[in-house]
Amino acid sequence: MLPVNLDKWNPGTSTTRKYQEGASFDLTFRDLSYTTGKGKNAKQILHQISGSFKSGHLTAILGPSGAGKTSLMNILAGLKKGGIEGRVDVNGAKRKFKTFRKQSAYVTQQDFLLKNLTVDEYMTAAAHLKLGKKVSDKEKKSTIEQILKTLGLTNTQQTRVKRLSGGECKRLSIGLELIDNPAILFLDEPTSGLDSSSSLQCVSLLRDIARSGRTVVATIHQPNSRILDLFDHLYIVAGGSCMYQGPVDSLVPYLQTMGLDCPNHHNPTDFAIDVASGEYGDVVSRLVSGIENGSRIYQENESASSASPALSHDTGFYEEDECDTMLDGSSKKKDKKAKKTGKGLMYGAPFHYQVAILLGRTWKTIWREKILTTMRFTLHICIAFLMGMLYWQIGDEADDIFNNAGMIFFITLEREVLVREHLNQWYSLKAYYLAKTLADIPFQIVFPTVYLIPIYFMSNQPMSIESFSMLLGIMISMALVGQGVGLFFGAAFDIPVASYFAPISCIPFLIVSGFILKFNSIPPYLSWLTHLSFLHYGFEGSMLSLYWAERPPLSCSQAYCHFRYPIKFLEQFDLTNKSYYLALVGMLVSFVVIRVAAYFALRFKLRHIG
């Protein structure tokens, strides 16, 4: 059994929750319906379901596959917002999403963790993000040590996540969310993938967390009898309705009142799941009616008609604009004032602090991905030498000017941890996106540089620092924009779709780039595309960096070389009146636009997840 002592746990006075002073956060929901799709494709998952989960209790949501238990969990956790009818209340007051999400935490079924961080590094980064600067480093360290001791992870403090066992990863996922003392903890099948011993330890930990004053709710798939005994409250879903709600010990008596006798030495939950699956006939509707679709909490010693006080209609459900106190006890007036001053309660750390922590964490993970980084570096070097040998010494040859131009243009052509951490209010999406962008910029500078150097000298381009620098500037810009295009499609679509559409989307911009068709040859009704094409600016900038009007005549090994004078080449491609610096500005504008578009695509996808 894991050593647990949460009663004295206090991660800094600024994060101490009111439940530690005797208050409780009871979660109730009434007449909750959920429908996916629209029109003919509409499908109702939940049917006016009700229930009550109390603080200090460990609640299990059970049901056969497709019953709606995960949908119910996601709605209660605030991850689903569309297609929902009914209401969810906290202590009788209609919950406020933003405050609720800050004071609750959701642990997903799969442990989406950064594999190259150590347990201590992960916990420290989470503490900085969740607790901010208002809590001293000493208090943060003390909190981390207490949590690791509680979870039995002290001996793995310096171990990287990829070397942890399945049970240790699950405990780490829980520990990361405990840092800021959430009042309500949701877990989606926390025992999935664990052996019986690890599952028992995990549920024992959850029970002790609930005993410390929290509301702990978990979906679970057919627990064995030892694990079942650790739960205080059962909520069984069948066909989108509630067929039982009450204590574990009252399940069998309730089924007996409905004429369903659980066989001796049979796991009660296995029997209940079989009943919910229809193996004992069409009795689910009777069970749903008997429990009033979750409006009653069944007790073995109560009469069949008694209603649960928590869900009776006279408890005073306040509308959001009538309730002056939020989940965290702060007034709405203070919250509005905080938003105006930019000091809202959404995140534990300020924006610049989030960016700094995320940037440091990202750099560690990139640096430790030695195989991937080495492969990227080696690939750039190998292709550079291949291109250099293919276009050997043609840079100063007038007769090969088209081959050289094609070569130069060719060399310029080159989403689950976030969901969990962002939705659990670790940091803003802006901070994450900015940190990821800044972390990758050095690589988008280094890789084009090591790629260009061999090609530039092997192909005998102008031995001019100015020309080299100008071409390098275009290449770096192209790398940044190209990565932005990948980020946009990766954020907007699933990976297979993104892999298909990203290259195809560049074809129209390639056609109007100026290399395949001269600018003056592009039809007027399509000429506007050139101003949107980053490939157009890339071609224009790279050509002007090598073939400026004042460049000395090129070598000529033939009887006549029409393009011996670079000005002739510029005239051929309508580049005589173009500006390198305007091309560079066009690239930078493209970079900003595509990055902003990727951010909003990612933001849209996160808001509609699930």
Q: Which two tokens stand for residue 533?
A: 């094409």
441/406: higher pLDDT = 441
Report the range out of 54-68, 301-315, 385-399 with the highest average pLDDT. 54-68
pLDDT at 497: 65
Q: Please give the torsion angle defined by the CA atoms of residues 464, 470, 471 and 475, in that order, rounded to the nearest 10 degrees.
A: 150
The 58-62 sheet, strands edge to edge: 104-107, 184-188, 215-219, 58-62, 233-238, 241-246
Chain mean pLDDT for the chain: 75
Across the range 542-568, mean pLDDT stands at 74
pLDDT at 321: 37
Bridging pattern class, strands 58-62 and 233-238: parallel
Across the range 349-377, mean pLDDT stands at 74
Q: What's the rounded Cα separation, in Å, for the pair 161 and 120?
A: 10
Whether 569 has a pLDDT exceeding 90, the answer reads no
Across the range 14-29, mean pLDDT stands at 56
pLDDT at 8: 44
Q: Residue 265: left (phi > 0), alpha (psi -120 to 50), or beta?
A: left
Q: Which two tokens stand for residue 602?
A: 């990612």
Residue 406 — pLDDT band, cuts 50, 70, 90? low
Residue 13 — pLDDT band, cuts 50, 70, 90? very low
Tell me the three state secondary structure of residue 12.
Answer: coil
Kindly report which listed range (137-151, 285-299, 455-469) carries the lowest average pLDDT score.
455-469
Alpha-carbon distances, residue 79 vs 186, 321, 551, 590, 608 (angstroms): 11, 22, 62, 34, 9
CA diameter of the chain: 109
Whether 454 has a pLDDT exceeding 70, the answer reads yes
Q: Which two tokens stand for residue 365?
A: 């993970």
Q: Which two tokens stand for residue 404?
A: 């050289």
Residue-wise pLDDT for 224-273, tens only, equals 888 888 999 999 999 899 999 999 889 889 888 888 888 887 888 888 88
pLDDT at 165: 86
Residue 457 — pLDDT band, cuts 50, 70, 90? confident
Contact 133, 353 (CB under 8 A): yes
Rounded percentage of the chain residues whose pLDDT exceeds 90: 7
pLDDT at 156: 87
DSSP code of residue 241: E
Residues of the chain with CATH 3.40.50.300: 13-340
Q: How many CA atoms lie within 13 A of 543 on its CB side?
A: 30
pLDDT at 535: 80
pLDDT at 14: 38
Rounded percentage of the chain residues whose pLDDT exceeds 70: 71
Q: What's the rounded Cα separation, in Å, for the pair 573 and 406?
A: 13
Tell me the three state secondary structure of residue 68.
Answer: coil
Bridging pattern class, strands 241-246 and 58-62: unpaired
Radius of gyration of the chain (CA): 31
pLDDT at 328: 37
Contact 489, 501 (CB under 8 A): yes
- DSSP for 590-609 reads HHHHHHHHHHHHHHHHHHT-
CATH 3.40.50.300 fits 13-340, yes or no: yes
Q: Distance between terminal CA atoms of the chain?
A: 35
Whether 49 has a pLDDT exceeding 90, the answer reads yes
Whether 15 has a pLDDT exceeding 50, the answer reads no
Expressed in percent and rounded to 5, the helix, strand and coil fractions of the chain are 55, 10, 35
Report the range out of 210-214, 441-445, 477-481 with the highest average pLDDT. 210-214
Residue 2: which of 205, 178, 174 has the closest Cα? 205
Contact 432, 598 (CB under 8 A): no
Across the range 569-596, mean pLDDT stands at 83
Residue-wise pLDDT for 312-353, tens only, equals 333 333 333 333 333 333 344 444 444 443 344 467 777 877
230/605: higher pLDDT = 230
CA–chain centroid gap for 363, Å, is 18
Residue-wise pLDDT for 57-112, tens only, equals 999 999 888 888 888 988 888 877 778 899 898 888 888 877 787 788 888 877 77
Bridging pattern class, strands 27-36 and 84-90: antiparallel
Tell me the three state secondary structure of residue 110.
Answer: coil
